[in-house]
Structure 1
Amino acid sequence: MRDFSRRGVLGLGLGAAAAAGIAGCVFGDAGSGGGPGRGDSTPGPGGPPVKAIGDGSTADTGPQPNQPDQPVPLQPGETPPQFVVFSWDGAGEVGNGLFPRFLKLARDHGAAMTFFLSGLYLLPESKKALYQPPNNPAGASDIGYLKDENVRNTLKYVREAWLDGHEVGTHFNGHFCGGAGSVGRWSPEDWRSEIDQAVSFVTNWRTNTGFTDLEPLPFDYRKELVGARTPCLLGRDGLLPTAGTLGWRYDSSSPGGLQTWPVKKAGLWDLPLQSLPFPGHSFEVLSMDYNILANQSKNTTRGVPAHYPGWRSQATATYLGGFRRAYETNRAPLFIGNHFEEWNGGIYMDAVEEALKGMADKRDVRLVSFRQFADWLDVQDPRVLARLRTLAPGQSPAGGWGAYLATV
């Protein structure tokens, strides 16, 4: 386990959680919620033809449905939208119903999210020898493998997520965070191998599983994949050169950032988890479920149940406090990371749900994926973005937005 310090992060994938018992862009009008619209998740008659890719595990079904309008630059004096990105590390379904729960929540509130899929969650354990992790034995994994029935459910919900308009990124594969084989030690070549294998597991699940009764994933994953979050937020310096070569557009692996407007690093948008005010404490906590847990129940995911109500309220207040600090001042984007977990009785899942509900109905709020946010950033005037970056966390624009961005 990684350190339980105030700023540290474990970033467990789903298999480890289960095994261990931790186991501008105009998105609709400026009124409520403002994510992409939702429609039928099944391409209807008359839609684009389905073009099978490879063994039929994936298919080109045309442009992704349920996307926002094309982004446009901020106009002089315009108030920036408040972007919020909810993301999920691992993104596998182990039978606890969390994947469909949050797909429904997103539909109910017009939200898009990013699902960082672990490639191993589509590889049956019986085929684990196919995985050749860099600097680790064949088939090794610190998050384990899913049961076949859970591989099936993960395929179902990943397909549903993409058709609903969510982004499918990657959380890579074996989630190695310690020792000589840690991802923190990997070279750009190691990362290329890991990425190629993750793509292979996603694009060859039909061959690897033998499942013949499931529909293909409705996207070309090599084209779809434009960003990632590394295990435990380690190894990004080795990853970035490879990510750039592959044409990726962003990285969300920085080990913590301030609530400010983003910059590019090595040609990719740097979209880190952020430090948020932590109610009852003088320090701030990283915007991820595990880090909040680490400051509440310390070294266990099964703390004293009597504390659960208070911890749940504290976690909810952390997310909403970070949201208000940005929304009422510099409008910096808010990035929140999660796992499909049931730690401390599931209080963190309740907290993120309540937080999303508390944000969704506010004016100018856009609940988007990382990819959609990168789309918006890419069309903005660099001078406007530079001006936005001058605002510190909690700092309001002098004279209001109309004056602050009037003549950039």
Structure 2
Amino acid sequence: MRTLTRRGALGLGAAAAATAGLAGCADLSSSEGSKRTPGSGKNRSASPQGSPRATARPLGDGSTSFTGKQPHQPAAPEPLEPGLEPPQFVVFSWDGAGEVGNGLFTRFLDLAKEHGASMTFFLSGLYLLPESKKRLYDPPNNPRGASDIGYLTDAHIKDTLEGVRRAWLEGHEIGTHFNGHFCGEGRGSVAHWTPRQWRSEIDQAKSFVKEWRTNTGWTDLPSLPFDYDKELVGGRTPCLLGQDNLLPTARALGWRYDASSPGGRQVWPQKKQGIWDLPLQQIPFPGRGFEVLAMDYNMLANQSVNSTNAPAHNHPGWREQATGAYIQGFKRAYETNRAPLFIGNHFEQWNGGIYMDAVERAFQHIAREKEKGGDVRLVSFRQFTDWIDVQKPEVLARLRTLEVGQQPAGGWKSFLGETATASPSTA
């Protein structure tokens, strides 16, 4: 039987929650145990999905394996040419990334495949650890084996392994959502963990991915087709808490970005403690006088006061409102400063599944803009980081001068021309 555990301090009123960038979030849980042009999604390589790679080399106990370069990646990014408008990047990401029988993992993999898109799946390490082995998990400042998201059944662990394997083979990124999802006010909350404790949490999350075969005893399932030590370059913390103490550890581990900041604005990002800070952003909320964080749980918090099973007569209107929020956030950036749009989700059927419907409808709207010829790129965080890492510092500095919804003065040709970006004041 499924259970759902609420995350985050959601005691604020709706408007206050939104304007404060409230980062309440929840994960699913169970009480039982050829190249394509960058981000275009066209001309996928011919590697058959799910097939073993000829170069596969088992790692450790065989839970993972090295299979060579990840399939279905964009061509190597290049610096933006002077005077050209930047692409519109959109990143859809998923916290937890566990399959519990509702088919949502498969639903959105199928959607991404249909449109040649990539996403980021922030896998919770505990979703690959059987509940019978829960004492292997030693969470900082919490009892051994504790978890605020529970453990999956064996059947759901197998489904999650299948989804993660397919995701990587189809070009998606596997990040981390860490393990126990502790978001309370007490000492055990991730908000209070030290850099050393974050290192312990990360090491354990990686070990559960790299040693699922030992921990489950299953020998009849294929390996995950990647080296997680090299694959893992970023994550999102539970409830978007604890980033300041996470970042020194992330930098020491060679991570390239962190997606844990709450209440970001739709402007071009910059680095924080040497790591790209890629926050969830505040986007327009149709019919309301405030903005909402671009995450399904925050839509819910502002519509049904945290209820995940509100009366059905509210669902159609809320579905349209959530869809409109994502689309308006996209439109605002696409038609003005071209700031990347970051959207966070969970594989949950809250309020009749309306937030999953909203995400799919918004995704399809954005994909249609791409397919009409616009330079819209549905990418993973890692792919976006690849692109921004090769841009000229003076170009990025110039882009950061654009405010939310601000169009470049004189158009892109003038705004990002040779003269404009060469100015010492913008370098």
> TM-score when scaled to structure 2?
0.91
| Partner of residue 388 from structure 1, selected from 375, 381, 399 | 399
Shift of 1:2: 2.5
Residue in 2 that maps onto 1:41: 49
Shift of 1:34: 3.9
Residue in 1 that maps onto 2:136: 130
Q: Is it true that 1:182 corresponds to 2:189 in the alignment?
A: yes
Residue in 2 that maps onto 1:364: 375
Residue in 2 that maps onto 1:28: 37
Shift of 1:185: 0.3
Residue in 1 that maps onto 2:95: 89
Q: Is it true that 1:70 corresponds to 2:76 in the alignment?
A: yes
Question: 1:36 & 1:404 partners in 2: Cα distance?
Answer: 32
Shift of 1:36: 7.7
Residue in 1 that maps onto 2:123: 117
Question: 1:121 & 1:151 partners in 2: Cα distance?
Answer: 6
Residue in 1 that maps onto 2:3: none
Shift of 1:212: 1.1
Residue in 1 that maps onto 2:217: 210
| Partner of residue 26 from structure 2, selected from 9, 12, 20 | 12
Shift of 1:86: 0.1
Residue identity (%): 66
Match of 1:92, SS state, is coil
Q: Unaligned 5+ residue runs, structure 2? A: 1-6, 11-16, 422-427
After the TM superposition, list the runs of 4 or more consecutive aligned residues in structure 1 that deviate by more than 3 angstroms.
33-36
Q: Is it true that 1:149 corresponds to 2:158 in the alignment?
A: no
**1:169-204: CA deviations, max 9, x gaps?**
000000000122000000000000000000000000
Shift of 1:141: 0.1
Equivalent runs, 1:195-234 vs 2, <5 Å? 195-234=202-241
Residue in 1 that maps onto 2:314: 307
Contact 1:288 1:338 in 2 (8 A): yes
Contact 2:38 2:75 in 1 (8 A): no
**1:121-145: CA deviations, max 9, x gaps?**
0000000000000000000000000
Shift of 1:38: 5.9
Match of 2:414, SS state, is helix
> TM-score when scaled to structure 1?
0.95
Residue in 2 that maps onto 1:53: 59
Shift of 1:12: 1.2
Equivalent runs, 1:226-375 vs 2, <5 Å? 226-362=233-369, 363-375=374-386
| Partner of residue 175 from structure 2, selected from 169, 174, 186 | 169
Residue in 1 that maps onto 2:14: none
Question: 2:340 & 2:43 partners in 1: Cα distance?
Answer: 17
Question: 2:342 & 2:43 partners in 1: Cα distance?
Answer: 18
Shift of 1:8: 1.2
CA-based RMSD of the aligned residues comes to 1.6
Shift of 1:10: 1.9
Q: Greater RCO between the two (CA within 8 Å, min separation 6)?
A: 1
Question: 1:102 & 1:38 partners in 2: Cα distance?
Answer: 20
Shift of 1:280: 0.7
Question: 2:245 & 2:388 partners in 1: Cα distance?
Answer: 25
* Partner AA of 1:391 in structure 2: L
Q: Relative to structure 2, which stretch is displaced further, 4-13 or 217-226?
A: 4-13
* Partner AA of 2:209 in structure 1: V
Q: Unaligned 5+ residue runs, structure 1? A: 21-25
Residue in 2 that maps onto 1:160: 166
Shift of 1:290: 0.2
Contact 1:37 1:68 in 2 (8 A): no
Change (3 A) 1:267 1:36: farther
Shift of 1:3: 2.9
Q: Relative to structure 2, which stretch is displaced further, 162-171 or 398-407?
A: 398-407
